Structure formats: C-alpha cells, structure tokens
Amino acid sequence: MWFRFGDVLSLASLALVLVGVTAISQKRQQVDEDAELVALKYVNELEQEVLTRNNEATEASWAYESDINEENLKLRNEVQTRNANYFKEIARELRKFDYSSFKDEVLKRKIEKMTQLGYAALPEEKFTQLLDSISGMSENYATVKVCDYKIREKCDLSLEPELTEILATSRDPEELKYYWVQWYDKAGTPTRKDFDSYVALNGEAARLNNFTSGAEAWLDAYEDETFEAQVDAAIEEIRPLYEQIHAYVRHQLRERYGDAVVPEKGPIPMHLLGNMWAQTWDNVADITTPFPKSRQLDVTDEMVTQGYDSLKMFHMGDEFFVSLNMTKLPQTFWEKSILEKPTDGRELVCHASAWDFYKTDDVRIKQCTRVTMEDFFTVHHELGHIQYFLQYQHQPSVFREGANPGFHEAVGDVLSLSVSTPKHLERIGLLKDFVLDDDAKVNQFYRAGLGKLVFLPFAYTIDKYRWGIFRGEIKPDEYNCKFWEMRTKFSGIEPPVVRSEQDFDAPAKYHVSADVEYLRYLVSYIVQFQFHRSACELAGEYVKGDPEKTVNNCDIYQSVNAGNTIKEMLAMGSSKPWPDAMEVLTGQRKMSADALLEYFQPLYDWLVVENKRLGAYVGWELSDKCKSK
C-alpha cells in the first residue's frame, strides 16, 4: 500500500490549503499591483505641482540672494515654509504605501527620494527658526565690510572683489595679516549664536528623518555605506604627494619672507598663500614657481590686455560646451543672469552660483566675475552646473540632480582641465609662442598642483569638522581650537595670529555660514580626474603609455566623441545610483584617486628630487596658534 485512508484525507486537505494559499497570494499580488498603480498615478499627478512649487521657491531665493533686504527675505521664507508643509504632506501620503516591495524600480526610487524630507521634516515653528539661523549667518557673510589697511576710516571693502584681490596679490605679510584678522573676526565670530541653534535644529531634522545625525544625512546622498571610509582612504593615498608640494611651497616662501615669517618645520602661515582660506594656492605660483625664467602660465594680464570682460568669458565657456556638441546657453540665460557685481549699492550674495528654475531652459548664473584666470575657471565651473541642468531637464523633478553632489561640481572643472593646458590657451590666443620644454612642463604641473592638490585636505577638513560637530564628538567649548587643530593636521597650515575659543572661525568660509555640504568638492576633485582621463581617451588625446599623449597635455576642445559620452552621463540626472552614471563615461564604478595620481606623477617625481636637493623639510609640526582659554 502506498498510503492509508487518513493519508488521502490529509493529502486532499493539503491540496485545498494549497489552492487557498495560491488564491490568497494571487490576491495579495493583485492588491500589491493595484497599490503600485495607485502610487504611480499619485506620483505622476504631483509632477506639475512639484515643478511649479520648486520654481516659485527658486524665484524667491534668487530674488533674495540678488537683492538682500527684509521684504525679499520674508517672501522667500514664506514660500519655503509653505513648500515644506506641502512636501511633508506628500511624504505622509507616500509612506502609506509599502513601496519597498514595488516592482517598478524607477517609481521606488522616486518615492524614496520624495519621502526624504530634509529640514522640511521639522515642525513648522522649528523649520522657520532654522531658516532664520541660516539666513542670519549667510546674510552676515554676504554683507561684511572691512576698513582699509592704510586709510582706516575708509570702511567699504567687501570680500568680493577687494579682499579676494588683496589676498591674491599683496606680498606684504603685515597687510595680509591685517585683512585676515578683519575678515575672520567679522565673518566668523558674530555667527556663533545662530550656529548653535543651527546645529541643534539640524540634528533634530536628521533624527526625524531616521538618521543618527546631520553627518549621516549628508553622507546619504552618496548612497554607499562605506563612502566615508573611502574618502578617508583617498586622503591617505594622496598624503605623500601633498606633503611634497607643501614642503616645496614652504621652502619657497621661506626664501621670500625669511625665517621669522615662515618656520622651517612648522605649519605654513596661511595668510601668505594667496587665498583667504588657503584652499588653493595658485595665486602664489609667481613667487614660488620652480623655473621663474621659463614663461609662466598665468594669462590674467593677457586677458586684461585683450580687453576681456565677464560677458566675453562666459561666451568663451559657452563656445567650449558647444564645441563638444553640447547644449548652447538659452537666450534667457543672458537676459536673466547676473554676471557682474551690481554697482547700484544693493547687497547681494556674491559667492558664485548656478540656478535651475525647474522649467524648460530657465537657468541662470549669479557671479561677481573678475577678469582673472582664476575666475575664467570659475566661469567654466558654473557653466558645468548649467550644462548638467540642461541635460537632465527632461527627467522627472526628483531626478533633476547630479548623480551625486560631487558629479555636479566636477563637470565644468573637466573643461577647465583642458582650458588650463598651454595647448588650449594658445588655441584661444591667450598664450603666444609658448615653448613647452621640460622647465615649462614642471611649472605647469606645479601650478595645477597649487590649484587642485592642495584643495583636497582643505575640502576634507571642512566636512570632517562639521560631521564631528553634528555627531557631538566636537563640543561647543572646543569648536574653534578643534577647527584649527584639524586644519593644521590635514593641511599643514595655521592662522597668522593666535586664536582662541573667544573666536569662531569656521563660518568665515561661505559654505559653513550658508549650510552647504562640502564633501561634494572633495569628491569632485577626485572624480574629475577620472572623467578627464576618459574624456581625453575618447577625444584621442590620451593613449595609455604614450609619452606624446598624456593626461597633462590633453585638450578635449571640439571633441564630439567626448562630448556625447559626457552628455549621456549627465542626461541620467540622479535617476540611477551614481556608479551607473560613472560607468557610462569611465567604465569604472568606483571613485578612485588613481587618475589624479597619474596626472600628478610627473610633479611628484620632480618634487621628491627637488626637495632633497634643497634640503626642504617634509611634514610639519603641530601648531600653537589656538589657545582654548
């Protein structure tokens, strides 16, 4: 016998149960599918309203930032508060769906993004308090005026253009120190109260969004649990190279300023480095260059001689993008942008920015452009943001973002890497009869090092410091000295005067006062070399192992092939995780310092030999320039 009677019964009931289970699961599946359809319809129907609201908010922010006054601030805050409530409501509705089991990956990704509320998660009263704290800081930053070094009763100097210009060009340590102190005292310290309230509310918002702190909320944009560790590893990888350029610059500055101003083994006094935050040092290339007799690559004077103005600079940037078969700037860009500092006396945020108005072709830049080579690069940087906006404007609103924030920052810089080659500068008539011999090459690599390499530990510190604060690891009574301790540790620089906990210096950097995440720039300065190398390969300008076709002398200008592939990456917006976008251009799915190290290998080789020859000390001792009491 195969089975007994009872077995028959139990088999039958099993079959019945199975039929039942199948029916239930079919039904459940049906319910799931119905729910998914309902969600899809809901999300699609929101699209137009989301665009309109984003547009209104952007218009209000633009109006305020280009004309800072009470009324514009009030209007901006009203729109933002209204929108925060709206997006909170949408998120509440969307959370009713069990969207983690949705089959439509695009829909799932949309809902995940739409339920991430950021500051809008706060109750309305706290949301407006947070807005007030941030606008308090950034308004202070935008409106600081300092008094002239020689004519002390003349007190109308702004960061842009006056202080920026002085820091870049003055070679008088006392004058530089004076302006440094003025700026940090006025742009940093007065923000302390607002900053404390900002930290508290930022933390509350992060926890409402299920993050442990604001640090995790920021890192979430990179969609990779191990991203922080990868960033740490990249900084370690770059460190030997950084130490070499640092040692060389310190040595050269000692030659110029002497032992009493620049120590042999200590950190470099930062006011001597050509930039208020010592974030890039290319403004001191002229006084530290390896081969002063060889022609230098600074074309600022030539730009002035040729009568360049901001409009010309933007037209040239536009022309570069068009030469890559990318999108030409729309007419309204020229009509609505602010490309020069207004002279009608109104206050505005001068820090350069690019804006997407969530319509078709309404994109703008606000920049207090100066006619310098440095700003020529910034023009390309900003136009890179604009090109990204134009390439992804067909995407649904939630995907109208960079693949990650670092991608957005990298696009224009990829073009700048081409613009900065002697080859390109000759092409556009800014450099004539240039002989690219060995000395000139070292000068070129060195200048690139001052513009790119030295930025990496700076960018790292700005957010490592804020992560520390957000995570409660850096305590309020050590905010200032921790900042300088970290700046010294990672960059080997120090303030020109002793600072204390009576001072508060980090908000003297725009992005700290304006609550802009900064890791994006570190990521950009790494991935842009990956993008550059691949674009050069596509342009036929780079062949691995070919000494005639290196990444250092590559100009992708007029390469439709490179342009089309970059375009393909940009057009994805944030519709896919960033490794998918990176793969389109580079074939790689990881952020890697390899391309950057390849770019700077010739500089590294030269610096190691030269620092030995000069007996330049490599590394730095601790700083005693911050006293906690």
The set of catalytic residues is 382, 511
Q: Inter-axis angle of helices 405-419 and 560-571, to 10 degrees?
A: 170
Nearer to ligand X8Z, 111 or 523 (CB): 523
Q: Decide whether 140 or 353 has the Cβ nearer to ligand X8Z.
A: 353
Choose among Zn ion, ligand X8Z, none what residue 352 binds, the Cβ cut-off being 5 to 8 Å by kind: ligand X8Z
Give which of 243, 185, 223, 301 is closest to 493, Cα–Cα: 243
Side-chain-side CA neighbours of 309 within 13 Å: the count stands at: 4
- Contacts with ligand X8Z, 261-280, as mask; x by CB under 6 A: ------------------x-
Nearer to ligand X8Z, 310 or 378 (CB): 378
Distance of alpha carbon 455 from alpha carbon 496, whole angstroms: 19
Q: Which does 521 bind (CB under 5 to 8 A by kind): ligand X8Z, Zn ion, none?
A: ligand X8Z
146: DSSP letter? B
Least Å from the CB of residue 353 to Zn ion: 7
Residue nearest to ligand X8Z (CB): 352
Which of Zn ion, ligand X8Z, none sits in contact with 249, Cβ below 5 to 8 A by type?
Answer: none
Distances (CA, A) of 165 to 374, 451, 455: 11, 17, 19
Q: For 295, which DSSP code?
A: P
Q: Is 407 in the site for ligand X8Z (CB under 6 A)?
A: no
CB 348 within 8 Å of CB 67: yes
* Shortest Cβ 288–ligand X8Z spacing (Å): 21
- Is 372 a binding residue for ligand X8Z by CB under 6 A? The answer is no
Question: Which residue, chain included where needed, has tokens 């998918």?
Answer: 580
Rounded Cα–Cα distance for residues 402 and 489 (Å): 31
Contacts of 279 (CB under 8 A, 6+ apart): 454, 455, 458, 459
Closest CA to 180 of 461, 434, 493, 486: 493
Place of tokens 């696009």: 411
Specify the residue, 149 or 321, whose C-beta has the smaller distance to ligand X8Z: 321
Smaller CB separation from ligand X8Z, 39 or 365 = 365
Tell me the closest approach of the beta carbon of residue 352 to ligand X8Z, in angstroms: 4
Angle between helices 5-66 and 105-114 (to 10 degrees): 50
248 binds ligand X8Z (CB under 6 A): no
Using the minimum distance from each CB to ligand X8Z, give the nearer residue, 142 or 247. 142
Which option in ligand X8Z, Zn ion, none does residue 378 bind, with CB closer than 5 to 8 A by kind?
Answer: ligand X8Z
Choose the contact partner of 555 out of ligand X8Z, Zn ion, none; CB within 5 to 8 A by kind: none
CB of 119 to ligand X8Z, least distance (A): 20
Two structure tokens written together for 345: 């006396």
b/e map 326-359, b = 16+ CB within 10 Å: bbebeeebeebbbbebeeeeebbbbbbbbbbbbe
Give the nearest distance from C-beta 372 to ligand X8Z in angstroms: 14
- C-alpha 587/C-alpha 579 separation (Å) is 9
378 counts as binding ligand X8Z under rule CB under 6 A: yes
Distance, CA of 238 to CA of 592 (rounded, Å):
11
Q: Is 352 in the site for ligand X8Z (CB under 6 A)?
A: yes
Residues in 386-415 at the binding interface with Zn ion, rule: CB under 5 A: 409
Q: Would you say 53 or 509 has its CB closer to Zn ion?
A: 509
Q: Which two tokens stand for residue 139?
A: 């308004």
Count of residues near ligand X8Z by CB under 6 A: 6
* H or E element in which residue 435 lies: none
Pairing of strands 353-356, 363-366: antiparallel
Contact 530, 592 (CB under 8 A): yes
Q: Which residue in 521, 529, 578, 599 binds ligand X8Z (CB under 6 A)?
A: 521
381 binds ligand X8Z (CB under 6 A): yes
- The nearest distance, CB 191 to ligand X8Z, in angstroms, is 17
Nearer to Zn ion, 363 or 616 (CB): 363
Does position 491 bind ligand X8Z by CB under 6 A? no
Binding mask 109-138 for ligand X8Z (x = CB under 6 A): ------------------------------
CB of 172 to Zn ion, least distance (A): 32
Burial class, 613, CB count within 10 angstroms (exposed 0-12 / middle 13-18 / buried 19+): exposed
Cβ contact 141:510 at 8 Å: yes
* Smallest distance, ligand X8Z to C-beta of residue 507, A: 13
Residues that bind ligand X8Z (CB under 6 A): 279, 352-353, 378, 381, 521
Residues that bind Zn ion (CB under 5 A): 409
